Amino acid sequence: MDPFSHTIGTQTDPSQTYTILEVAMKYKATMILTLFAIVLCLFNYSGVDPDNIFLFMFSVPVWLLEIFSDIHYYNIYFVYLLTVVTYAIFGRIGDYFRAQDKART
């Protein structure tokens, strides 16, 4: 059995199903950016980045938190969660515009 042949039904129409690859292609930017954020957080959590340089460079919530206060006042897991959610939102916005452009042509 092909591991990518599983189907995902929709709430509104159970007869309309999508394969995992179709869902992955529909939300490609969301998945890529969310995966990037998870890898960024795991890299920081692993201790390879002791000065948090990569987290400070690539995490938008850290930029905003640093404007108003010191990042060390916040729970690091909360910062990781904000980072992953922010990148997922950015990816979803990118997928939305990609779908709009694709529908227009």
Res 1: pLDDT: 47
- Residue 17's φ and ψ, nearest 5 degrees, are -120, 155
3-class SS of residue 13: coil
User: 16 falls in which pLDDT band (50, 70, 90)?
Assistant: low
Q: At what angle do helices 76-104 and 60-68 cross, to 10 degrees?
A: 130
Q: What is the pTM of this model?
A: 0.75
Query: Please, are residues 33 and 83 in contact by the beta-carbon 8 Å criterion?
Result: no
Q: Which amino acid is at 23?
A: V
Res 24: pLDDT: 60
3-class SS of residue 67: helix
Tell me the average pLDDT across 9-30: 66
Tell me the average pLDDT across 20-35: 79
